[in-house]
């Protein structure tokens, strides 16, 4: 075996390369480390992941350079094997690529210099928008000049240092809060950010110091600085305090880690509800309950009953005459100077205090609390909508699945395995669906499916109707057979029936849903939510009619408000009991059955939609009962706290994460809007009706002498009118704006007009977005066309040059990378002899099969080292071996059986 003749070529820098110092983004980052590290990293990576040695290893250590070389390999050599390489990119030569790489749009965000430049531009824009100083007040040199614009146009024009300097200057011009915001959002390393912060902070202080004496009050500037600093630290402190208040940090992390975002969204929703209830409860506690508790009304005769324990469920008995219910509150003005006072001593002591009219406080506080809730709800809903629904969000499922579906919160091995499986199945489903969509379905199958769906809908609506009729009949029965005070347990019958229906019907719906097979899991969830919601709302509607339409009539001499309050209390408490039952039966027992009997290892899935609907139902009950039982939100808060821990425990023990992909943000938007639209709106309508139209009972409560609760406000306005001219605007406002219907109509018409305009604007924007997208795609096609043209020119040039060089030396290095090679003096390209260029026109040097065999054997032996990049390209079925960055000083090829030179033909 004759020793093959080898050429070891030092790649010289061609004169052409000297000339073309195009700023390539690859040069801007650091050049690679030692080769040794690269080998270590890669072998470790291979060992760790257990993957096959890829044809092109991702260069972990020598990042930019190896990436660059890889790319050029891809274009010249292989690329046909496993990956569907970009067709147009395959044929590009290096010169074209270099031009492409230095295109302005490509450099953004890739190198540090570009990032700095981008943020500089952004801060310039921001500063201009925020505080545009008057031109005449600014010295000439400081005026904004065209130079800034020129920078915007050409990001590569300035050196990095210069850009950085400009950025620091810009940051100095921004107010502190904005500067911090900007710094935080910058995609730079923390050390660099800190440097920027230091640099942009110190001169500002100096500047201010200089400015101070010039002003009218020399100390003013310093004082302002001190104030700003104090405010800054105060803000940080407050923020820290708020964060410390954030409850359940660890519990939420645990849930997110084990079950992912989908289940977490349920618990976050529960937390939101807690916040809403707290918001509702605070004004009620402060202005109604607290005040009335400070001035307790005289106890009604014969109300001192003993506590039996059943009250906790029924809410009656001893609880009846407490601050819990409407009937307890006085219709008088509290704290009046020596009125018929309940406690004489207190009257004399607090005679100077302001009079406090309880009916007014009751009306306005409830109204205010509802208004606050409404504003918060609408705000959070619109925010959520803005986040989760974007224009064109329906396209691009595959991309979104690949890039956004991994939940980085997940920390448990089991959960992460489940997530792997979920994503795999989802991808498979998507592919199948995509392939199926190209084919079409038979008419018969479609017809059958429509029929099944119609039948299931009919059945579920029938179930709903049945439940409604049952509740109605039962409530009529309750009216006909009044319960005596001793048998309070019988009062529980109606809530129990309602709870049972609410518990059972969803299971029936789930069974029915198993019959119809929906294509998309999202649609399935929506349909289930829709059915359950219809059931719950219809039942609540019937109950509302039962209370306001029927009970008010039958309880003539009693306090019907107390009765309704108690009824709602019972419903809330029993709802909690049934949630517990559901957890126990649906989750615990089912798990035991499936583990012990069916010997399956699968746990039941956590039904997010059903559980969230339960929460919404409970919240509706609370809102319905606020007027009749001001302490109901407190009960709800306690209930939610308990539910959180019960559900968490049950989840950890019994459940597994849902197998279906779950669009968490879409779903939370849907749930917030459900909370707003049928739930809150329904409750508000119910309460408005109760306040405006229904006559309050004449024996109890703050409105006992009036025709409606709203009358209290009217009476007050009338009294103000009599009181004097000081507040005469208020009765005027009342008369002309509230009682007169015209302004109300005007305002609602205006609101509708604004909404309509807004919709139109959004529509227009959507159209513009579509047009822009089309334009982008056209531009892309244009670009591809131009690139191809460019490439053909280069290729022609290259070909002629190549022919010449091949004829003289017989050696041609395909695709040298001048920018990279020149930066590393020791780098060499080792080529086999005779060199086997990949250009088809260069001609075959030796037989293809032989070459391929060589290459394969060599690749096998090089697996340990992991740096030998071998391409058995399909390009003219010829093999060529290329060793990137062969460092002559590293002990790369010490093993005798992996000598690169042996690959070469003898």
Partner 1 sequence: MGNKQTVFTHEQLEAYQDCTFFTRKEIMRLFYRYQDLAPQLVPLDYTSCPDVKVPYELIGSMPELKDNPFRQRIAQVFSEDGDGHMTLDNFLDMFSVMSEMAPRDLKAYYAFKIYDFNNDGYICAWDLEQTVTKLTRGELSAEEVSLVCERVLDEADGDHDGRLSLEDFQNMILRAPDFLSTFHIRI
Residues of span 626-665 touching partner 1 by CB under 8 A: 663-665
Nearer CB in complex with partner 1: 718/783: 783
Both structure tokens of 340: 């018929």
Binding pattern for the stretch 223-252 against partner 1, x by CB under 8 A and - elsewhere: -------------x--xx--xx----x--x
Both structure tokens of 486: 């001793």
Can you tell me the distance from the alpha carbon of 117 to that of 158, in angstroms, rounded to the nearest whole number?
9
Residue 651 Cβ vs partner 1, minimum distance, rounded to whole Å:
17
Nearer CB in complex with partner 1: 180/516: 180
Nearer CB in complex with partner 1: 352/399: 399
Segment interacting with partner 1 (CB under 8 A) among 580-588, 702-710, 779-787, 893-901: 779-787
Give the pairing type, strands 869-871 and 333-334. Answer: unpaired
Q: Is the CB of residue 789 less than 8 Å from the CB of residue 795?
A: no
Choosing from 207, 303, 405, 649, the residue that interacts with partner 1 (CB under 8 A) is 405
Angle of helix 608-625 versus helix 249-284 axis, rounded to 10: 20
Choosing from 66, 121, 532, 830, the residue that interacts with partner 1 (CB under 8 A) is 66
Segment interacting with partner 1 (CB under 8 A) among 423-431, 556-564, 699-707, 799-807: 423-431
Nearer CB in complex with partner 1: 260/702: 260
Segment 785 to 844, residues that bind partner 1, using CB under 8 A: 787
Query: Which DSSP letter does residue 580 get?
Result: H
Nearer CB in complex with partner 1: 786/848: 786
Residue 45 Cβ vs partner 1, minimum distance, rounded to whole Å:
7
Can you tell me the distance from the alpha carbon of 317 to that of 480, in angstroms, rounded to the nearest whole number?
22
185 contacts partner 1 (rule: CB under 8 A): yes
Q: Is the CB of residue 99 less than 8 Å from the CB of residue 786?
A: no
Q: Is the CB of residue 870 less than 8 Å from the CB of residue 881?
A: yes
Choosing from 257, 297, 521, 541, the residue that interacts with partner 1 (CB under 8 A) is 257
Q: Is the CB of residue 286 less than 8 Å from the CB of residue 366?
A: no
Choosing from 169, 193, 208, 453, the residue that interacts with partner 1 (CB under 8 A) is 193
Segment 372 to 391, residues that bind partner 1, using CB under 8 A: 387-390
Nearer CB in complex with partner 1: 109/743: 109
Residue 771 Cβ vs partner 1, minimum distance, rounded to whole Å:
14
198 contacts partner 1 (rule: CB under 8 A): yes
Can you tell me the distance from the alpha carbon of 615 to that of 620, in angstroms, rounded to the nearest whole number?
9
Nearer CB in complex with partner 1: 195/581: 195
One-character DSSP codes across 792-844 = HHHHHHHHHHHHHHHHHTS---SS--HHHHTT-TT-EEEE-SS-----GGG--
The owner of tokens 């919709």 is 759
37 contacts partner 1 (rule: CB under 8 A): yes
Nearer CB in complex with partner 1: 239/458: 239
Can you tell me the distance from the alpha carbon of 337 to that of 331, in angstroms, rounded to the nearest whole number?
16
Both structure tokens of 663: 């669009």
Buried b (16+ CB within 10 A) or exposed e, 225-238: beeeeeeeeeeeee
Segment interacting with partner 1 (CB under 8 A) among 401-409, 463-471, 710-718, 861-869: 401-409
Nearer CB in complex with partner 1: 9/89: 89
Cα–Cα nearest to 508, from 463, 444, 454: 463
774 contacts partner 1 (rule: CB under 8 A): no
Residue 226 Cβ vs partner 1, minimum distance, rounded to whole Å:
15
Q: How many residues bind partner 1 (CB under 8 A)?
A: 107
Q: How many residues are listed for the chain in this entry?
A: 906
Nearer CB in complex with partner 1: 354/404: 404
416 contacts partner 1 (rule: CB under 8 A): yes
Can you tell me the distance from the alpha carbon of 130 to that of 765, in angstroms, rounded to the nearest whole number?
25
Segment interacting with partner 1 (CB under 8 A) among 108-116, 209-217, 601-609, 651-659: 108-116
Cα–Cα nearest to 356, from 326, 327, 330: 330
Cα–Cα nearest to 505, from 458, 475, 454, 463: 463
Segment 67 to 96, residues that bind partner 1, using CB under 8 A: 67-68, 70-71, 74, 82-89
108 contacts partner 1 (rule: CB under 8 A): yes
Nearer CB in complex with partner 1: 422/862: 422
The SS3 of residue 183 is helix
One-character DSSP codes across 398-447 = HHHHHHH---TT---HHHHHHHHHHHHHHHHHHHHHHHHHHS---HHHHH
Segment 665 to 724, residues that bind partner 1, using CB under 8 A: 665-666
Q: Is the CB of residue 827 less than 8 Å from the CB of residue 65?
A: no
Q: Is the CB of residue 640 less than 8 Å from the CB of residue 270?
A: yes
Segment 584 to 623, residues that bind partner 1, using CB under 8 A: none
Residue 703 Cβ vs partner 1, minimum distance, rounded to whole Å:
46
Handedness of CA 197, 198, 203, 204 (dihedral sign): positive
150 contacts partner 1 (rule: CB under 8 A): no
Choosing from 27, 35, 39, 41, the residue that interacts with partner 1 (CB under 8 A) is 41
Can you tell me the distance from the alpha carbon of 353 to that of 747, in angstroms, rounded to the nearest whole number?
39
Choosing from 35, 39, 42, 64, the residue that interacts with partner 1 (CB under 8 A) is 64
Choosing from 6, 777, 847, 849, the residue that interacts with partner 1 (CB under 8 A) is 777
Backbone angles phi and psi of 830, in degrees to 5? -105, 125
Segment 425 to 464, residues that bind partner 1, using CB under 8 A: 427-428, 430-431, 434
Q: Is the CB of residue 658 less than 8 Å from the CB of residue 606?
A: yes
106 contacts partner 1 (rule: CB under 8 A): yes
């Amino acid at each position: 075996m004759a020793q093959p003749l080898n050429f070891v070529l030092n790649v010289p820098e061609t004169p052409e390369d000297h000339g073309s110092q195009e700023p390539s983004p690859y040069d801007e980052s650091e050049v690679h480390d030692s080769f040794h590290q690269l080998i270590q990293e890669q072998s470790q990576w291979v060992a760790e992941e257990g993957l096959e040695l890829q044809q092109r290893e991702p260069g972990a250590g020598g990042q930019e350079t190896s990436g660059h070389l890889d790319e050029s390999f891809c274009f010249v050599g292989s690329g046909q094997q496993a990956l569907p390489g970009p067709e147009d990119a395959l044929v590009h030569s290096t010169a074209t690529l270099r031009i492409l790489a230095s295109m302005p749009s490509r450099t953004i965000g890739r190198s540090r210099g570009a990032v700095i430049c981008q943020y500089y531009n952004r801060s310039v824009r921001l500063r201009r928008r925020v505080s545009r100083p008057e031109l005449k007040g600014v010295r000439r040199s400081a005026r904004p000049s065209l130079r800034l614009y020129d920078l915007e146009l050409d990001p590569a024009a300035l050196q990095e240092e210069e850009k950085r300097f400009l950025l620091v200057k810009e940051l100095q011009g921004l107010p502190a809060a904005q500067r911090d915001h900007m710094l935080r959002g910058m995609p730079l390393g923390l050390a660099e950010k800190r440097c920027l912060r230091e640099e942009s902070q110190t001169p500002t202080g100096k500047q201010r110091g200089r400015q101070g004496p010039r002003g009218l009050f020399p100390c003013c500037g310093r004082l302002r600085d001190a104030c700003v600093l104090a405010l800054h630290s105060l803000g940080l402190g407050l923020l820290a305090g708020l964060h410390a208040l954030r409850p359940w940090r660890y519990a939420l992390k645990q849930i997110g880690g084990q079950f992912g975002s989908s289940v977490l969204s349920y618990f976050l929703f529960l937390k939101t509800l807690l916040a809403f209830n707290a918001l509702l409860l605070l004004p009620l506690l402060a202005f109604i309950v607290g005040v009335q508790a400070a001035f307790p009304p005289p106890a009604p005769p014969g109300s001192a009953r003993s506590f039996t324990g059943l009250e906790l469920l029924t809410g009656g008995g001893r609880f009846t005459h407490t601050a819990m219910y409407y009937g307890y509150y006085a219709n008088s003005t509290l704290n009046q100077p020596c009125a018929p006072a309940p406690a004489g001593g207190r009257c004399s002591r607090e005679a100077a205090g302001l009079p406090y009219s309880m009916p007014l406080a009751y009306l306005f506080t409830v109204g205010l609390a509802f208004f606050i809730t409404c504003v918060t709800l609408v705000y959070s809903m619109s925010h959520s909508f803005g986040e989760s629904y974007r224009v064109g969000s329906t396209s691009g499922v595959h991309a979104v699945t690949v890039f956004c579906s991994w939940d980085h919160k997940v920390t448990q091995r089991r959960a992460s395995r489940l997530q792997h499986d979920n994503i795999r199945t989802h991808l498979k489903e998507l592919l199948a669906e995509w392939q199926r969509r190209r084919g079409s379905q038979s008419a018969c199958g479609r017809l059958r499916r429509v029929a099944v769906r119609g039948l299931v809908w009919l059945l579920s609506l029938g179930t709903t109707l049945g439940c409604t009729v049952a509740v109605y009949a039962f409530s009529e029965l309750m009216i006909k057979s009044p319960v005596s005070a001793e048998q309070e347990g019988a009062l529980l019958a109606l809530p129990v029936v309602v709870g049972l229906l609410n518990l059972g019907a969803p299971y029936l719906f789930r069974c029915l849903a198993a019959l119809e097979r929906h294509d998309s899991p999202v649609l399935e969830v929506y349909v289930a939510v829709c059915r359950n919601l219809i059931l719950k709302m219809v039942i609540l509607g019937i109950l509302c009619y039962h209370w306001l339409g029927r009970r008010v009539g039958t309880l003539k001499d009693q306090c019907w408000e107390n009765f309704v309050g108690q009824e709602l209390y019972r419903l809330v408490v029993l709802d909690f009991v049934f949630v517990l039952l559901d957890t126990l039966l649906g989750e615990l027992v089912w798990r035991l059955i499936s583990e012990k009997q069916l010997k399956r290892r699968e746990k039941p899935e956590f039904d997010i939609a059903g559980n969230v609907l339960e929460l919404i139902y409970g919240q509706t009950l609370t809102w319905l009962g606020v007027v009749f039982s001001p302490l109901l939100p407190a009960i709800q808060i306690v209930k939610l706290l308990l539910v959180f821990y019960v559900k968490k425990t049950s989840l950890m023990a019994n459940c597994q994460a849902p197998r279906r992909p779950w669009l968490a943000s879409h779903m939370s938007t849907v749930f917030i809007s459900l909370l707003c639209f049928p739930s809150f709106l329904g409750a508000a309508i119910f309460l408005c009706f109760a306040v405006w139209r229904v006559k309050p009972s004449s024996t109890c409560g703050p409105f006992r002498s009036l025709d409606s609760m709203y009358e209290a406000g009217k009476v007050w306005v009338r009294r103000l009118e009599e009181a004097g001219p000081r507040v005469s605007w208020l009765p005027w406002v009342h008369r002309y704006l509230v009682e007169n219907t015209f302004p109300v109509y005007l305002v609602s018409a205006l609101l509708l007009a604004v909404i309509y305009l807004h919709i139109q604007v959004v529509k227009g924007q959507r159209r513009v977005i579509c047009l822009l997208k089309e334009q982008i795609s056209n531009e892309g096609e244009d670009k591809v066309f131009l690139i191809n043209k460019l490439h053909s020119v280069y290729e022609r040039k290259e070909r002629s040059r190549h022919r010449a060089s091949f004829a003289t030396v017989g050696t041609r290095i395909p695709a040298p990378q001048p920018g990279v090679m020149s930066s590393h003096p020791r780098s060499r390209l080792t080529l086999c002899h005779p060199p086997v260029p990949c250009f088809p026109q260069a001609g075959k040097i030796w037989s293809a099969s032989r070459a391929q065999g060589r290459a394969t054997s060599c690749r096998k032996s090089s697996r340990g080292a992991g740096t030998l990049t071998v391409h058995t390209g399909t390009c003219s079925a010829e093999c060529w071996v290329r060793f990137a960055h062969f460092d002559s000083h590293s002990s790369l090829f010490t093993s005798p059986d992996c000598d690169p030179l042996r690959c070469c033909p003898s």
